[in-house]
Chain A
């Protein structure tokens, strides 16, 4: 057999959650599929905070939680509003999340993606690693395959699913991208993994053995820039990181690494990570442009899924589940088209219809303005947490001032910082954008 001339039903570019879900679903559906990944391994170039959710993940990789390398099932989600030395903490904890199939898990993307890629290979997809897709092959106006960086590296297929992640090089080449990724549309996340013995983590975060916590932090942690800090507990490590919109980093001439250092110095954060030894450091971009920045999702012989399609819900920091679901839908579309042998844009357009019905597009539409709102309302991240903390501090400090005097004082402080009209407007807009 000469593999050079063998054609495949589908080529998937990218071995992240989106690409793997697509390749897995296609292979299970009986299609011949090659998944091309530039890294040593799927996951080797990926990083994530990161949480993955059972329901969407399980809908692609059934019962994955029984075998996949997972760190901890998350039973507690915290939201902090923090300043340099104080924090207002909102915590939700439930025993419901501690039973199978659990609600969500912390994972190491490197090992989790590797596992997904093994499942995908076992399902019959051809996983080709260390192979960069450099270009698309065209047959007239139709995409007919890909050109890789390897010797004799052309590969043809009926359809190409682009799941290349946040750097949308091929999506643009395919002529699908409406707005090239601008700094305003992507956030830069930097993350450090810190090692701490299992029992110490459970003690410190007040967790049952095996259970985990996810903490999201707004405020001083990002130096007042629009973004959030996060802490996730893994088995015997803690992931800490900050994600900040790229343009605000540039505008403020801030270094992401310094922000992370600053975040780690925040009083309440510092306590949680004290004595933990740094293991690794990584940085990655997140597309946060939302619905209006999504590319066209299909063309003749091509579909786009996952981060490449801008499918990230920045507000709830969900991306992997959208990637998994969209990859699966792309594959289902291809399987349906395969029956009729029609891979034209018109036929593949079915993908978009499938997505309409899912949380993916519904949520993305809903939060479309969120990023824009956040990027133009820096004081949400700097000033308001300061004020809230001041308020709490003042109220909870018992001294010679009466409560009424305190109220008056705080109101004055508030007014001096934010005009009432502005405050009302902010809250109204925030409500519209975020809920």
Chain B
């Protein structure tokens, strides 16, 4: 039995290069290369492996500016079957609530839902948010978090909005039972790992421990180049304007500022000093900071 997975990928600035301009206090983003959120590549790989094993389709979905098409083109090269970019000025400034609202609307459309009410209201007879290629979605994959927003909120938010089961921080996808429509996976927790079973449809977020993205084959890369990327705007979705982008975002950024910079600290010990003396010096320094070697384990 074949499954239809949607993988949500986000294009993010290479955060290792993002800085606050010390003079203007504003974010310096110009000239900073965009990359696919690294965790999302683990999600892509997870979806591809599932497809390679059971057959089906993988659709990549990205909300972002037009140039985010690059990210989608890249994952097409890994063998993703279909790519959808939702892009519109109306989406700008979205926080996670508005993002999940938009992505959920896109996923519904990908799943082939149609909204007759809105289509009827459409003057030009254009059948609103109806997707001819629509196909029910069994799984939504997300990265465990994005490296710019760093929230990990979009995956659970999507599960909620779509009414899917929620399975986050998955560190190992075990198996899927096509008959009973159940997925088993290990989930990473602070105190251990838990084996969970979830009914499909399910929204899964994937951690780095899950897999490594494949090295795309040349035929996949060549095929990717010919694929069309569907681009949808706000009007193509069954979505209320007021719930999109900044308007639909309950949170506001009040202020941004540079974090206190880590200063180069002190060099402990000198060349040629006995290691034991260096060690003693270090522990002295640490206890000056109020840190003492802890109570040893029993």
Contacts and interface: CB of A to CB of B under 8 A. Distances in A.
Q: Is there any pair of Cβ atoms, one from A and one from B, under 8 angstroms apart in the complex? A: yes
Contacts of B216: 150-151
Contact of B223 (A1, A127, A131, A151): A1
A126 interface: yes
A2 to B, nearest CB: 7
Interface string B200-225: 00000000000000011111111101
5 contacts: A1-B223, A6-B222, A128-B218, A150-B218, A155-B218
Interface string A374-410: 0000000000000000000000000000000000000
A127 B220 CA distance: 13
A4 interface: yes
Contact of B218 (A1, A127, A153): A153
Chain A residues touching B, range: 10 to 19
Interface in A259-275: none
Interface residues of B, number: 11
Kindly list the 7 A-B residue pairs having the minimum CB-CB distance in the complex, ordered from nearest: A3-B222, A151-B217, A4-B219, A3-B219, A150-B218, A153-B218, A3-B223
B223 A152 contact: no
A348 B254 CA distance: 65
A152 B219 CA distance: 7
Contacts of B225: 126-128
Interface of A: 1-4, 6, 34, 126-128, 131, 148, 150-155
B222 A152 contact: no
A56 B220 CA distance: 36
- Looking at chain B's contact residues, the main secondary structure is helix
Interface of B: 215-223, 225-226
A153 B222 CA distance: 11
Contact of A126 (B219, B220, B222): B222
A150 B223 contact: no
B222 A34 contact: yes
A150 B222 contact: no
A180 to B, nearest CB: 29
A418 B218 CA distance: 62
A131 B221 contact: yes
B223 to A, nearest CB: 5
A209 to B, nearest CB: 19
Contacts of A4: 218-219
A128 B221 contact: yes
A34 B222 CA distance: 9
A169 to B, nearest CB: 19
Nearest to B31: A111
Nearest to A148: B218
B217 to A, nearest CB: 4
Nearest to A151: B217
Contact of B215 (A3, A150, A155): A150
Given A128-B222, A128-B225, A131-B218, 4 more contacts: A3-B219, A126-B225, A148-B218, A155-B218
B156 to A, nearest CB: 33
A6 B226 CA distance: 13
Contact of A151 (B215, B222, B226): B215
A244 to B, nearest CB: 30
A6 B220 CA distance: 12
Residue among B215, B217, B218, B221 with most chain A CB within 10 A: B218
Nearest to A153: B218
Contacts of A151: 215-218
Nearest to B220: A3
A298 B217 CA distance: 30
A155 B215 CA distance: 17
A148 B216 CA distance: 12
Contacts of A127: 225
Nearest to A41: B33
